[in-house]
Structure formats: structure tokens, C-alpha cells
Amino acid sequence: DAKTTQPNSMESNEEEPVHLPCNHSTISGTDYIHWYRQLPSQGPEYVIHGLTSNVNNRMASLAIAEDRKSSTLILHRATLRDAAVYYCILRDQYSGGGADGLTFGKGTHLIIQP
Amino acid sequence: DSGVTQTPKHLITATGQRVTLRCSPRSGDLSVYWYQQSLDQGLQFLIQYYNGEERAKGNILERFSAQQFPDLHSELNLSSLELGDSALYFCASSVVGFGGYTFGSGTRLTVV
């Protein structure tokens, strides 16, 4: 499985933008880049995903490098409720036989200061 | 409410016992995945079912088994429980290959 590398932790101030980086230098052409987050005592929550182009939704934006070897999750205006562990994961669109269990790394622990 | 329902929310049992965790996937999702999360191991993929058939196995112990029923709900059976099996167990559902996973709120298993 292609792997991702994320910083262990990041700290930001409330109401400021947050840029969470992810490196995935061994990404394949059919791998989608997925981001999930896990708030304390909750299950992981889907945030956003993309293949090649930058993506926006109501939660965040995903900026993907032209060579696709890295990506950045952007929270435009962090709130205290955004404090969570953020996971960057690769998901093969064409997994053999439909087998596509996600492999979670340790993620980035995002701390938001009031 | 994510649309994925897991029961029970909490379970306390003794070593050597057997328990069953239940998951109802989001409407329309044919794939169900089970994950284990302990403090020292993080989120570990256990097993995936698709429309009743096993599709992928991860780090699932032989003491653990799962199945998916015709109505698409799934059960994870944990037997001969050990203290180290204490963890959060999450179920997720998805359309294979597309979009994101939807996770349930988990079952917290405590083995004493």
C-alpha cells in the first residue's frame, strides 16, 4: 500500500487558517487522496478527497501538488471544534476485487488555541 | 447521526468470554469494514465485507470473526477475550472505490 507521511502535531490559533501537509511520494495513478478527522471520543469523519485537481467543500479545501506527491488540507478559519487528529490516506479507486480497507497512519494531532 | 449504527455502545466482559458487536451500514452502502482502535496501536483495519462476502482481511486475529447478513448488517464476533482486546471497535460503510467511508460511533469494549 502506498504510504503517507504527516507531522505528528500542529498548533494553530482560533479563527486563523490551518494548512495540514501530507507527503505521499509513492502514490499511484489510481490512488485518491482522502482526508479524515477524528474528534475526541468519536469515530473518524470523512473530510474531503481528490484525485488531481484541487477540491473544495463546506468543511475544507484540498490542494494537490502537480506531481501528486504531496497534498495540503486547508481549514480556512479554524475553530475550537476543529481540534482533532487528521488522517491523510490513499484509496485505490480500482482495488482488486473491491478490497479497499483504508490504512490509517498516526495522523496529525491539531491543537487549536483560543 | 452518521447513518451507521453500532450496538452496543459500551460492553464490559471478563477474560475468556465471547461477545458480538453489531453494525448497520448506511442505506445503500454494500461494503462494511471493521476497525479496532487501541491506545498503542491506533486504527487497525480488521476485515471488509461486500454484499455478504468477505473481500479483504487486515490484522484480524483468529479468535475474531465477522459476517454480513442478507439485510447487509454485519456482526463482529470476538471470542476467548483477553485483556489486550480492550479497545474501541468501529464499523464503517462505503460504496466500494468511490467517495468516503462513513463511520459509526463505535463500541467500547472493556475486558476485565
> Helices in B1-112 by DSSP H: which ranges?
none
CA B43 to CA B36: how far, in whole Å? 6
Q: How confident is the model at residue A101 (pLDDT cuts 50, 70, 90)?
A: confident
Q: What is the pLDDT of residues A40-99, one digit of tens each?
A: 889 999 999 999 999 999 999 999 999 999 999 999 999 999 999 999 999 877 665 556
CA A98 to CA B56: how far, in whole Å? 8
- Binary contact (A97, B55; C-beta < 8 A): yes
CA A104 to CA A83: how far, in whole Å? 18
Write out the E strands in A6-107. 9-13, 18-23, 31-38, 45-50, 55-56, 61-64, 70-75, 84-92
CA A5 to CA A88: how far, in whole Å? 8
Q: How confident is the model at residue B96 (pLDDT cuts 50, 70, 90)?
A: low
Residue of B nearest to A107 (CA): B42
Kindly list the residues from chain A whose CB atom is less than 8 angstroms away from the CB atom of residue B105. 42-43
State the smallest CA–CA distance between residue A90 and chain B in angstroms. 11
- Binary contact (A99, B55; C-beta < 8 A): yes
Q: What is the pLDDT of residues B22-59, one digit of tens each?
A: 999 999 899 999 999 998 778 999 999 999 999 989 98
- Binary contact (B42, A101; C-beta < 8 A): no
Kindly list the residues from chain B whose CB atom is less than 8 angstroms away from the CB atom of residue A42. 105-106
